[in-house]
Every structure is written in structure tokens, then in C-alpha cells.
Amino acid sequence: MTPQELEAVRARLETFAAEMFSGFARTDQRRWGERYVRGLLTDGARKSMEPMAARLGVDRQGLQQFCTDAPWAHQLVLAELAWRMDAAINPAAWVVDDVSFVKDGQESPGVAAQYCGALGKTANCQVAPSVHLVTDAASCPVNWRLFVPEQWDPASPRTEDPAAVAARRQRCRIPADVGHVPKWQLALDMIDELESWGLDPPLVVADEGYGQDGAFRLGLTERDIPYVVGVRSDTALLEAEACRSVAPYAGTGRRPVPRYRQRRISARQLVLEGGRRALHTVRWRMGSKGPLRSRFAALRVRPAGVRIRRAYAGGELPVCWLLAEWPPGEPEPVKYWLSTLEADVPLRRLVGLAKIRWRIEHDYRELKTGLGLDHFEGRTWSGWHHHVTLVSVAHAFCTLERLNPKAPAAA
């Protein structure tokens, strides 16, 4: 925002900041919180400490101490944020995703050579899963985790020098109880935390980076949370009509047990066998250039990967939806999803939820380009979590301004 735009919304910003930082015991911390958020909202090429302090006309060391060293619990702020935005947005889904932060050095917590979504290749970066409250009209991140690669965990069998790793962690002030946890488990942990704050997930949407892992899908099912998640084309399935049968008893040895004897088939092959005649054209929302349409197939299937079969050993494999997008002009489907939405769900709703992840790309773009999500230059665990929390508060304020028809200033 320009200084003039920020001045026009300052009263609303101060009220919002007071609400977000109401859990701070000290008045000076509440004041620094509002200043930091105001610095993130103010126009400027960099949203790191020195340029923000200069634009705000405040002491840089005070601003840095608040973000990097002050002992405030970022979870308290995120809980306030989640309550406020859940009521404001009334989300259609919780969307799980992750974002990467490209780094030059090796001293930032969690930095490693790993897949970097920002560059589309392996690079030196940090990776952070997040959970967003989403509708087609608005969205907001409300929980974060910083992924800890195995080389940052002294207890990992892949760690060659545990003592060096422990020293590295100490420099970044990574808590002793924080180790390597798969991203899908971090996502479930964030969902559990949001529920512990009193929020109720309508359903969860995620891309194949999470949806492909059977443990993530099982975790959602165990929590009675419906989902629409991306999967790969080679995901092993059975047709919904598949049933268990018992082979004839030979008279010796163990008696046969019921099992599925039908062949497993990939999601790709199952849709290809159905052919183009099984496709339906669906318009799921209006885009900037008109209605968004494509062709989709929706089939009832039983996921039959190794982890799923082990989880349901001796029982029926559950039936769910396989959704596939097969655009005109493409020789085969280009995207696949599994969903546990009800059997009579309208196809347009199923497609709309599968496609609702577009809001997350909008969030990340605004968080990075406008609010300095990846501008944090500190090297501490708590500092990173403080910064992304404060950026989320700034983003939430922008979202509320856009949703407010009476807001006179651009947000």
C-alpha cells in the first residue's frame, strides 16, 4: 500500500492488530506487532528488517528483536487469525500445500538441497507446508510448519555427523523435540492443531504431493474428514464392483481367506478404457477471460495401493471417487484426483473443489511479491515462524479489506 492508502485504513489496521495480538502480555510487544504488520503492508522492494524500519521510522534493532528474539508464541496469533478468518471466509475447504524459499547459504534452519517448487527443480531452499481456508472468492493461510530434512535431524540414520548437526541446530535454536517429519504428517499435525483451536474442517483439498501418499489419505479418513486430493496416473485401483471371494479349499493347510482376485489397474488405464464417451464437459467457475471449462470422467473405484490394502487387511476396501481431467485436444487425461465425497455428489461440485487450489497460488504470489514472505534474513527457528505468522496477519488484513464493500482504499 502507498502511505496514503495505509493512512486511510490505519484505524481498521490498528483494531485488527489489537485483536490479533491480544494474547501478548506486554504492551510494547503489541505495539511492535502492529508496526511490523504495517511495515509489511507498506510499498517497498524489500520487506526485511532494515528497509522496513527505515520506511516506518522506527529502531531497526527493536523491530528485529521483536521478530527474531522476543519469546512470544506464534501459535497464539495463528489461533486468533484462524478464528477471525474462519468466520469471515466461511471456507468451502481447507487446502494443504507448501511453498519454498530459495537460499544461498547453509545456516538458515531447514535449508537443504531439495525440490524447490519456486524453481521447479532441486535447489538449496527451505520448504514450508501450510493450511489455507479457501473459497473461490477468498483465502488465507492460517497454519505453517517449517519442514526439517533428514540431514537436520541428528537422530536420522542418514545423518553422517550427529554432533555437527546438533551444533548447527543449536545455532538456529531449533527445539530439541523437533525432528524430521514427513510433509504429509506435518499437514495432519496442522489440521489437528486447527481442530484443537475449535475449527471444523469442511473437507481437505491437496495436490498429489500429499494425496499420493496413502498414509495421508488414511489419516484424513481416520479423522472423518472428507477429501479431494491429487494422485498420480499410476495409482493402483480396483473397480468399485470388485468383490472378495474365497478360493476352493484343497483339504490341507490353511483355509483360504476372502481376497480380491480382480486385477489392479492404474488410474490412467481405467479412464482410457472408459474412453472419451464417458467424459462430461464441466464449467466450474468464471475466470478472468471467461468461463473455465474442461472434460472430466468420474468413476467409483477402490484404491488398492500397498498401504491401503494393509490398513484394510481382512476387510472390504472402501469405495471412493476417481476424477480425471481430459481436456479437448489431449491424447489422454492430464490430472487425477481421489475423493471421499458422498456417492451422489454433483460432478460440478466435485470438479469445483478439485480445482479450488488455484486460490493457493494466488495466496503465495501475494504473500511473496507483495508482503515479503520470503524476505526474512534471520537464521533462527522462532524468527522464521514469527515472520511467516506476521505476514499471514498482513495477508488476512488485505483479504478482509477486499471483502469489505465499504473499504475506500485499495488493499
Query: In sequence order, what are the beta bridge partners of 358?
Result: none
269 phi, psi to nearest 5 deg:
-65, -35
The one-letter amino acid at 200: D
The 10 Å Cβ neighbour count of residue 186 is: 24
- Rg of the chain on CA atoms, in Å: 24
Residue 327 forms part of a structural domain: yes
Instruction: Out of 255-269, 307-321, 322-336, 392-406, pick the least confident.
Output: 255-269
Residue ranges making up the domain that contains 308: 227-243+259-356
Q: Average pLDDT over the chain, rounded to whole?
A: 93
Contact call for residues 346 and 329 (beta carbons, < 8 A): no
Q: Using CA atoms, how far apart are residues 150 and 189, in angstroms rounded to an integer?
A: 18
Residue 38 forms part of a structural domain: no
| For range 330-354, the mean pLDDT | 97
pLDDT in tens, 70-93: 999 999 999 999 999 999 999 999
Residue 68 forms part of a structural domain: no
Number of domains in the chain: 1
pLDDT in tens, 222-275: 999 999 999 999 999 999 998 887 777 777 777 767 777 788 999 999 999 988
The 10 Å Cβ neighbour count of residue 62 is: 15
Residue 238 forms part of a structural domain: yes
Residue 139 forms part of a structural domain: no
Residue 251 forms part of a structural domain: no
Pairing verdict, β 244-245 and 139-144? unpaired
Task: Output the pLDDT for position 407.
Answer: 62
Q: Using CA atoms, how far apart are residues 374 and 96, in angstroms rounded to an integer?
A: 19
Q: Using CA atoms, how far apart are residues 384 and 72, in angstroms rounded to an integer?
A: 13
Task: Output the pLDDT for position 409.
Answer: 46
pTM of structure: 0.93
- Is 60 exceeded by the pLDDT of residue 69? yes
Residue 48 forms part of a structural domain: no
Residue 285 forms part of a structural domain: yes
